[in-house]
Amino acid sequence: MTRWMTLSIAALFIAAASIQAQDAATVAPPAAAPAGMGSVVMIYATGGGAMSSTVLDGSIAQAPFATLSQNVVVRIGGVAAQVLYQGAAPGIVQGVLQINAVVPDGIAPGDTVPIELTIGGVTSPAGVTLAVR
């Protein structure tokens, strides 16, 4: 019997405060303070697959933080965003990922700009948005 295994199943958290601006303001709708183009957003996700170092399940992520072993791509408004960090979410249980990305210039602003995360060639489900001004 052959079994296929996916190395990652990226999924973005959609609850309030799951996407934050660099000042920790929530930019996931409904957002009181939308992210500006060129600003950094912190995206929280799960399902990233292998990490750069072994982590203990259930432990709290502490420095030095494990990073994702596979390629990470973030698209905001359909445009590739620069990824500054992709790894364990500091101070949160292992398995929660934090991806810091720069909101690209030139995208259409709005309250529901689509965002997607691709890790190791596997893209997160559609329907997650953030507010951009």
Q: Quick one: pLDDT at residue 56?
A: 84
Are 55 and 84 in contact by the 8 Å Cβ rule? The answer is no
SS (H, E, C) 63-127: CCCCEECCCEEEEECCEEEEEEEEEECCCCECCCEEEEEECCCCCCCEEEEEEEEEECCEECCCC
| Res 128: pLDDT | 87
Q: What local confidence, expressed as pLDDT, does residue 127 receive? A: 86
Which residues are paired to 109 by β-bridges?
none
Q: Report the pLDDT value the prediction gives residue 129, as an integer from 0 to 100.
A: 87
- What is the pLDDT at residue 29? 56
- At residue 16, the pLDDT reads 47
Claim: this prediction has a pTM higher than 0.75: yes
Query: What pLDDT tens digit does each residue of the chain (133 aa) get?
Result: 444 434 556 676 655 445 666 665 555 555 677 889 999 998 888 888 889 998 887 899 999 999 999 999 999 999 999 999 999 999 999 989 999 999 999 999 998 999 999 999 989 888 888 889 8
Over its C-alpha atoms, the chain yields an Rg (Å, rounded) of 15
